[in-house]
Structure 1
């Protein structure tokens, strides 16, 4: 079995793609259809919503960070276990980085590669017929990217719907959805994007409200009829990140959540066991594990509790004397000497690396990263190139004296200098690893 799919795109972030995608996925799942969500690019929050909405794990499909064979393998895997695959675009449909053709990281790359139709979500607040000009621009910008239908979002009235909808249909694009403004459908946000699905006490109720909206405001049958078969070939997982050990102690709670679904899936498929533990519950990694992984998340929101978790701190220090420990982004911050929270309060962290970080002195760090490893570590072997992504507001206030772990460059290969840290068995980086380069 292989799925039929389409891409949900928009001119920009904030147009309503996520609400439309989640509402569609939940509504289709309630109809008994095996629908699955995917996210173009490196976003690690939206796949969690896709998972809760459908019961099937989400997946990232990133044309920059993933080699074509790995991208095909992940797309084929997702398509083999679903009837319908809905791919949510990151940012605007064509937004990516300049470089090799087809490897910009944009959702448009996926539309070209897999010949998937695009459902264009337009936020028409503050405009009416002008929506048609925007839609026409999308329809003609790239002949290899097919806009198959339009959803009008944040309409103010029936008259507003009629003016915008008739103008769009006049240029030959079907309007398959019209959504009235409704603040109750908005998902809460914070500094790294949406508040995660796992943190909502009433998440299922909210997803069902979005599904009710989709049933009411979208022509789901027409949208399904627009979908095209997805059958990638030349698939190969050889560029996936290898499991760093046989039994991996994985920090997993509200402070440590950002592990890409495709990485966890591949590690398990390769025979590794993921053994979760909660630093916020003062748990330490189990002694029968052979490596410990601290993923990113929101330790800056829980710094005081982490600082007082004595069993966690002692267990991590003992573990690191004999076995590898790796931290990414938030995990990297916790491995350091101290973390300053948003109020400027300094909290002692694990001290397994020598740097200190601050969330009070904020500066956004965002973009793709290419990292050449300077030594063997849980990410790979010395001289391996790892592709990943960095997105955080914290910054290093005290660099420490540890060995650097990587030679870092941005997505276009511009050098950023040596980065990360290594001390004994302990390593860390501010970037999230996605795949081997």
Structure 2
């Protein structure tokens, strides 16, 4: 392969900026949505990103742009991985817009940038558009911007948008004060407008997005930003963003705190995969994601598409590259929805370097939709074929399935419909009994329980695979980052191995008295560590939404477990 074709050797031009706020509620989501729609109206292909583990904002972004939005997280994943993911995901876009999380400097730690929007802006070399809520203030707005400017000198706040101005005169006042004190251009404003308020993010909001009910909000935000903001200056700022380079293979490392165990030594399946894909050897760091320069000829098509190697090299058959597998692109194939092959790829594109390619059934609808896009992509890159299905549409487990992945979402909002889908629930029970690998998190975990009690007190029968009952609460019961450590060997991890993720839910899982509690993890967060989840045999489930990029061998192990199951006991699932 020509060294010049390696992505880490080529300069990558990515017009981009980060939309950050001075705090939660400052208006960054409204501004982001308006800008996404406004730039799309200009005919630009816009790729949206969200800092942190949020699922709702990416749903908004996808609705506005028509492209799968992607999460960037500098705590759950390494900086090298995150940069590589950003570069791949933005390759086909004219512009990347990265929405921040909370305030610009808010993250996991009180005195550091870890997990903050600021850290992601620094890691991606992105200029920052700061959104400032200026209600009931004049020159004080300049003091706020000046403080944000000086806290981290290495960060470039390139422009400011002021939100909730009382009038055009108010805007001129704060604009003059900020520019005089900070030397930063104030390029636009939004007036106080209740029509721009995003509905409260209660569970069940996503269906409103999917039905198009928020389209008027998106359009109104775009109209007002087009009228009051110099979008051409913002595009110039984006275009002037520094040139980036793909990280080399050795730079895409596990996150700090993940296991130091070398998967190629401890896990035969992981070792076999890594040897065949060239992802690492005994001398390379543990957990390294196979980089473009190390893929075998079988992956050439992906690398060609993502800038990884010359077009003259042989076409490939590995079934995934992150930028080409958005959930929104799923197509019908027979009785299931499947990820499409790469553009112009032959039908054998679904085969992996370790034939046969196992099929992982992924529940995907308004009840099950909390997936990090790169979790699905990592499974595909590890050799799986992903088949999407909708329990809310009455579908059961696809008969082709060799494994099942139930993500989070809003099952409590659709509990009656789920309980009425006997094909789905019976299929889950049959799959579990047949030894099919079954991984579930948060909402999926709830559905594997014996029952789900909704907010109105109604009790709905669920799959009954886990000896527990889920009960919805009036208040949030968990929120925050988690590092989980396997208590024993399980579907994703060896004992003592760790993954990072995030937990957010309003339910409690109550296990039946007298039933043995087979915990999946020890889960650590701000409040300490406690056992969590359920793991027995082929079933693993917990509340935490884990990120597979925090320990990539976990993705390989799940795919290999599905490959081992391939071809066995499937008749049970088709009856």
Q: Which residue of 2 aligns with 1:67?
A: 78
Q: Which residue of 1 aligns with 2:363?
A: 251
Task: Give the TM-score normalised by structure 2.
Answer: 0.71
Q: Which residue of 2 aligns with 1:113?
A: 123
Q: Which residue of 2 aligns with 1:85?
A: 96
Q: Which residue of 2 aligns with 1:401?
A: 516
The change in CA–CA distance for 1:99 and 1:135 in structure 2 (over 3 A counts) is: closer
Q: Which residue of 1 aligns with 2:3?
A: none
Of residues 350, 357, 363, the one that matches 2:470 is 357
The change in CA–CA distance for 1:33 and 1:363 in structure 2 (over 3 A counts) is: closer
Per-residue deviation, 1:116: 1.8
Per-residue deviation, 1:235: 5.1
Per-residue deviation, 1:70: 1.2
Of residues 476, 485, 492, the one that matches 1:379 is 492
Per-residue deviation, 1:99: 8.5
Q: Which residue of 1 aligns with 2:246?
A: 233
Q: Which residue of 1 aligns with 2:444?
A: 331
* Paired residues, number: 433
Per-residue deviation, 1:192: 5.7
Q: Post-superposition, which runs of at least 4 consecutive aligned residues in structure 1 deviate over 6 A? A: none
Distance (whole Å) between structure 1 residues aligned to residue 131 and residue 360 of structure 2: 41
Per-residue deviation, 1:141: 1.1
Per-residue deviation, 1:324: 1.2
The change in CA–CA distance for 1:239 and 1:386 in structure 2 (over 3 A counts) is: farther
Distance (whole Å) between structure 2 residues aligned to residue 8 and residue 143 of structure 1: 18
Per-residue deviation, 1:221: 0.7
Q: Which residue of 2 aligns with 1:410?
A: 525
The change in CA–CA distance for 1:321 and 1:116 in structure 2 (over 3 A counts) is: same
The change in CA–CA distance for 1:256 and 1:11 in structure 2 (over 3 A counts) is: same
Distance (whole Å) between structure 1 residues aligned to residue 205 and residue 457 of structure 2: 24
In the alignment, is the contact (CA less than 8 A) between 1:252 and 1:278 conserved in 2? yes
The change in CA–CA distance for 1:240 and 1:373 in structure 2 (over 3 A counts) is: farther
The change in CA–CA distance for 1:163 and 1:370 in structure 2 (over 3 A counts) is: same
Deviates more, 1:416-425 or 1:370-379: 370-379
Distance (whole Å) between structure 1 residues aligned to residue 78 and residue 207 of structure 2: 28
Deviation per CA, 1:298-357: give whole Å up to 9, x if none. Answer: 111112222222221111111111201111101111111221111222222111011222
Q: Which residue of 2 aligns with 1:161?
A: 171
What aligned pairs does 1:295-374 form with structure 2 within 5 A after superposition?
295-322=407-434, 323-360=436-473, 362-374=475-487
Of residues 36, 47, 63, the one that matches 2:58 is 47
Tell me, what secondary structure is at the counterpart of 1:257?
strand
In the alignment, is the contact (CA less than 8 A) between 1:187 and 1:195 conserved in 2? no
Of residues 32, 37, 45, the one that matches 1:21 is 32
Greater relative contact order: 1 or 2 (C-alpha under 8 angstroms, separation 6 or more)? 1
Distance (whole Å) between structure 2 residues aligned to residue 272 and residue 232 of structure 1: 29
Per-residue deviation, 1:204: 4.3
Deviates more, 1:392-401 or 1:116-125: 392-401
Q: Which residue of 2 aligns with 1:175?
A: 186
Per-residue deviation, 1:252: 1.3
In the alignment, is the contact (CA less than 8 A) between 2:83 and 2:123 conserved in 1? no
Per-residue deviation, 1:193: 9.7
Distance (whole Å) between structure 2 residues aligned to residue 148 and residue 96 of structure 1: 21
In the alignment, is the contact (CA less than 8 A) between 2:51 and 2:73 conserved in 1? yes
Tell me, what secondary structure is at the counterpart of 2:370?
coil
Contiguous gaps of at least 5 residues in structure 1: none
Tell me, what secondary structure is at the counterpart of 2:150?
helix
What aligned pairs does 1:85-164 form with structure 2 within 5 A after superposition?
85-98=96-109, 104-164=114-174
Deviation per CA, 1:150-174: give whole Å up to 9, x if none. Answer: 1011112122212222211221221
Contiguous gaps of at least 5 residues in structure 2: 1-11, 253-286, 291-319, 321-356, 552-575
Distance (whole Å) between structure 1 residues aligned to residue 415 and residue 247 of structure 2: 45
Task: Give the TM-score normalised by structure 1.
Answer: 0.92
Of residues 233, 236, 253, the one that matches 1:222 is 233
Correspondence 1:293 to 2:408: no
Distance (whole Å) between structure 1 residues aligned to residue 243 and residue 49 of structure 2: 13
Tell me, what secondary structure is at the counterpart of 1:81?
coil
Per-residue deviation, 1:72: 1.8
The change in CA–CA distance for 1:189 and 1:158 in structure 2 (over 3 A counts) is: same
Deviates more, 1:83-92 or 1:390-399: 390-399
Correspondence 1:391 to 2:509: no
In the alignment, is the contact (CA less than 8 A) between 1:153 and 1:181 conserved in 2? yes
Per-residue deviation, 1:436: 2.5
Per-residue deviation, 1:186: 2.4
Per-residue deviation, 1:240: 6.5
Distance (whole Å) between structure 1 residues aligned to residue 545 and residue 176 of structure 2: 45
The change in CA–CA distance for 1:343 and 1:300 in structure 2 (over 3 A counts) is: same
Per-residue deviation, 1:292: 0.6
Distance (whole Å) between structure 2 residues aligned to residue 358 and residue 318 of structure 1: 25
Tell me, what secondary structure is at the counterpart of 1:306?
helix
In the alignment, is the contact (CA less than 8 A) between 1:97 and 1:105 conserved in 2? yes
Per-residue deviation, 1:80: 2.0
Question: Which structure has the highest helix share of the two?
Answer: 2
Of residues 31, 47, 69, the one that matches 2:42 is 31
